[in-house]
């Protein structure tokens, strides 16, 4: 079996104090998650609703699940009853659906707004201007069952460390900008979720408060 425990301890040992680890367990079996759980890890991230549902049913109930993948509005109702945080919110439509389902469940769901800063062409995430637009529209203020806790981003998948660092810095500046403008009195708005296996040592030097690490803990994914 893959040395999950050793890898987890190694990653935790490299994280500066105060930076939280979300162990990304997508495509990995429940016994891998249990290995990390036995070492005290409680926060796990998944990117597919059905896989998450299965793992949630089967695994200890004190696990904090974070959703990190693309989320269709029609799937929101399945995860809201138990999800702790949805890190990949990139539209008002999705925020409204989370609000609706969370109200039904009598819960408040934490969310991060996903940024699209990397050069890769993807449909997901908010460009800096789209983020500003969403926040200035103001409709999100009415959502009492959604708590916006910060931003999430992925850097470009490149070898150029300076480019990666510059992208995280762009994320950090945007965070400071919107924090000041919209969340100055809101302590909950404090998270910058950046850094994956390939780039977390860079991310923690450039503003990350939360890293999302899969491969370095659980090994390569078999799709």
Ligand X SMILES: *Cc1c(COP(=O)(O)O)cnc(C)c1O
- The residues of the shown chain that bind ligand X, judged by CB under 6 A, are 24, 26, 47, 68-69, 154, 196-198, 212-216
Q: Are 65 and 30 in contact (CB under 8 A)?
A: no
Q: Is 17 exposed, middle or buried (0-12, 13-18, 19+ CB in 10 A)?
A: exposed
Q: What tokens appear for 126 in the block?
A: 């908010």
Residue 37 or 67 having the CB closest to ligand X: 67
| Backbone Cα Rg of the chain | 17
Residue 207 or 214 having the CB closest to ligand X: 214
Size of the chain, expressed as the number of residues it contains? 223
9-14, Cβ contacts within 8 angstroms, sequence gap of 24 or more: 9/39, 10/216, 11/213, 11/216, 11/217, 14/201
Residue 176 beta carbon to ligand X: minimum distance, rounded to whole angstroms? 22
Residue 6 or 139 having the CB closest to ligand X: 6
Residue 112 or 174 having the CB closest to ligand X: 112
Residue 146 beta carbon to ligand X: minimum distance, rounded to whole angstroms? 20
218: Cβ–Cβ under 8 A, 6 or more apart, which residues?
Answer: 2, 4, 7, 23, 24, 25, 28, 32, 36
Residue 103 or 158 having the CB closest to ligand X: 158
Q: What tokens appear for 9 in the block?
A: 């301890």
Residue 20 beta carbon to ligand X: minimum distance, rounded to whole angstroms? 14
Distance separating alpha carbons of residues 148 and 188, to the nearest angstrom: 7
Residue 220 beta carbon to ligand X: minimum distance, rounded to whole angstroms? 8
Distance separating alpha carbons of residues 31 and 70, to the nearest angstrom: 25
Residue 110 or 212 having the CB closest to ligand X: 212
Closest residue by beta carbon to ligand X: 214
Residue 137 beta carbon to ligand X: minimum distance, rounded to whole angstroms? 25
Residue 91 beta carbon to ligand X: minimum distance, rounded to whole angstroms? 17
Q: Name the strand (E) or helix (H) holding 67.
A: strand 64-67
């Amino acid at each position: 079996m893959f040395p999950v425990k050793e890898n987890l301890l190694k990653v935790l040992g490299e994280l500066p104090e105060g930076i939280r680890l979300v162990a990304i367990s997508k495509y990995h079996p429940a016994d891998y998650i249990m290995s990390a759980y036995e070492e005290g890890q409680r926060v796990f991230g998944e990117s597919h609703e059905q896989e998450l549902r299965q793992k949630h049913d089967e695994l200890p109930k004190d696990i904090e699940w974070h959703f990190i993948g693309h989320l269709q509005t029609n799937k929101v109702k399945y995860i809201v009853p138990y999800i702790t945080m949805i890190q990949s919110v990139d539209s008002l439509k999705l925020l409204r659906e989370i609000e609706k389902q969370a109200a039904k469940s009598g819960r408040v769901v934490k969310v991060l707004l996903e940024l699209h800063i990397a050069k890769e062409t993807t449909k997901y995430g908010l460009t800096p201007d789209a983020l500003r637009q969403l926040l200035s529209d103001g409709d999100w203020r009415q959502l009492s069952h959604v708590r916006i806790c910060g931003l999430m981003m992925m850097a470009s998948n490149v070898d150029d460390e300076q480019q990666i660092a510059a992208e995280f810095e762009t994320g950090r500046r945007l965070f400071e900008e919107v924090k000041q403008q919209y969340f100055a009195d809101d302590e909950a708005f404090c998270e910058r979720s950046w850094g994956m296996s390939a780039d977390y040592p860079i991310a923690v030097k450039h503003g990350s408060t939360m890293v999302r690490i899969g491969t370095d803990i659980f090994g390569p994914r078999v799709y």
